[in-house]
Amino acid sequence: MVRPLCGCGRDSGQYRVPVIRVEVSREYPTTTAAAFDYITDPANWPDYWPDLIRVETPERSWAEPGDEMRLRMRFMRSEVVMQMALDRLVPAQVVEYHSRQDGMPELRHERHWEQRDNGFRYRIAVSYEPRPGAKGFFDRVLVRRGVKKALTRTLDNLESRLT
């Protein structure tokens, strides 16, 4: 079972390690309900999720807290297996889950849908605690950059599917 990240910052004994948060958003001219249904359906993930090689557990449900999915992703020129666990799902409003992947810190993911007059605003965020030592430098610089690129590409890919 994948356990959630506390999100509170790790106490090193001398100082607290701050949580890194990367967030992007965009508005789309479609209904919140239609977008939510499309984005949360694992069958659609290969259409818009950048660097997704495959969903390794396509038969699994992604609708209730505790549901888990396993994905094979390309991240920073390497293949990684991402083990995801759903923490919270409020239809047409929010999805929260966390993931573990080899060679990286545990990630906490948020997806938010906000109704607007002419569509909706989609906001996605990833937060994580950098690991100690040299791995922390990797987390603070390279992981942050890779996450930002992936989130932005996700919004770009959704542009053609939600307009």
- Flag whether 2 is in a domain: no
What is the C-alpha to C-alpha distance for residues 111 and 161, in angstroms, rounded to an integer?
17
Asked if residue 39 is part of any domain, the answer here is yes
On whether residue 56 sits in a domain, the answer given is no
Instruction: Give the pTM.
Output: 0.87
Residue 153 lies in a domain: yes
Residue 112 domain-assigned?
Answer: yes
User: In angstroms, what CA-CA distances link 21 with 82, 110, 111, 128?
Assistant: 19, 11, 13, 7
Determine contact, residues 160/47, Cβ cutoff 8 Å.
Answer: no
**How far apart are the C-alpha atoms of 136 and 130, rounded to whole Å?**
5
Contact 24, 144 (CB under 8 A): no
Which SS3 state, helix, strand or coil, does residue 118 take?
coil
Domain containing residue 154: CATH number = 3.30.530.20
Walk along the chain (163 residues) and give the pLDDT tens digit of each residue. Answer: 544 444 445 555 555 668 999 999 999 999 999 999 999 999 999 999 999 999 999 889 999 999 999 999 998 788 999 999 999 999 999 999 999 999 899 999 999 999 999 999 999 999 999 999 999 999 999 999 999 999 999 999 999 999 8
Q: Which residue range(s) make up the domain with 111?
A: 17-51+90-161
Q: Is residue 69 part of a domain?
A: no
Domain membership flag for residue 74: no
Q: Does residue 36 form part of some domain?
A: yes
**Structural domain count of the chain:** 1
Per-residue pLDDT reduced to its tens digit, 98-135: 999 998 999 999 999 999 999 999 999 999 999 999 99
Contact status, residue 68 vs residue 85, Cβ threshold 8 Å: yes
> At 132, phi and psi to the nearest 5?
-75, 160
Please compute Rg for the chain using Cα positions: 16
